[in-house]
Structure 1
């Protein structure tokens, strides 16, 4: 814990620690999202900030892989242009991108976290199972999995140094 900024020690925590405690990040990201974001962009944002959108926008993903990739790519471009989004005192969504095969990659920054500091990367690795469970608690995520969508959350610290990642494959949340 000593590797996280003062905000964490004071009880304000990054996304992962909020999920550990079962709390969802504040609605700050959704509240700060421009009204012009498409329903699919809001759905993707909801998978990061822990808020279910009631599957708004999911019908745009029921076509084939190519059309779904195109729809996801458009939504990620919207999020990236509109962002970054502050999720809590230490976590920021910088943007997302799409790889072929319905794979969405979210870029998250943990503000003030030094990846080179002893124990930080190990802590993030040990938190991975808890993060996965927290992500799977969002009722939108298993439905996205049923549509064959893989969600990848990449965390970076100071200087964009990698801290770790969590990948939710299409079948990951079905057993939760």
Structure 2
């Protein structure tokens, strides 16, 4: 009797996809609290820096710090908050995702930099998974009640997820996107 045909082992692929999906969904879908290790002591952040970090963690802050965006130079206030987050250092969101900070661009644009470990961004299946997960991640970001308020103030949020030196996904949340959802 001939041997049974070999069945490909998809376990590494499945494990990588599960790891990636959990890490990427943790922040925007507000499940990071159940996945993450206890938070490390972090320096006291201003209200606006806390608000921006909350959009990454998927945790509403009650719009703490939003008044800094309604008075004066909004681009300057966003830049100062990102500089504060950069000084505070990287923040582990869960076992595989780290918030490395943010930068601002003119026109009220905030770019968040997130590093994912344990995935191979060069694999076709990883790229396919990320393409399919993008709408879910965007909806998760919009579920944070702070995000539509930022949108009403004209703030555009961009989430850059990278693995190693390769970009996994860019989530671009223009000011009106979460108002439609």
TM-score, normalised relative to structure 1: 0.86
Q: Does 1:97 align with 2:107?
A: no
2:19 aligns with: 8
Displacement of 1:117 in angstroms is 1.7
Is 1:111 aligned with 2:120? no
Could you tell me how far 1:104 is from its partner in structure 2? 0.2
- How far apart are the structure 2 equivalents of 1:98 and 1:3? 36
The match for 1:45 is: 53
Q: 5 Å matches for 1:54-69?
A: 54-63=62-71, 67-69=73-75
Structure ID, larger Rg: 2
Deviation at 1:3, TM superposition (A): 6.8
User: Partners in 2 of 1:7 and 1:127 — Cα distance?
Assistant: 12
The runs of 5 or more residues in structure 1 that have no matched partner are: none
Counterpart pick for 2:31 among 14, 24, 45: 24
Listed one character per residue, the Cα deviations across residues 99-147 of structure 1 (whole Å, up to 9, x for unaligned) are 0000000001111221112221221111110001000000000000000
- After superposition, the C-alpha distances for 1:8-37 in whole angstroms (9 at most, x for unaligned) are 29xx92032675xx5521286994362421
How many residues end up aligned between the 2 structures?
A: 169
Identify which range, 127-136 or 80-89, moves more after superposition: 80-89
3-state SS in 2 of match to 1:2: helix
Tell me which of 146, 163, 166 is aligned to 1:140: 146
- Is 1:82–2:88 an aligned residue pair? yes
Q: Which of the residues 156, 170, 178 maps onto 1:173?
A: 178
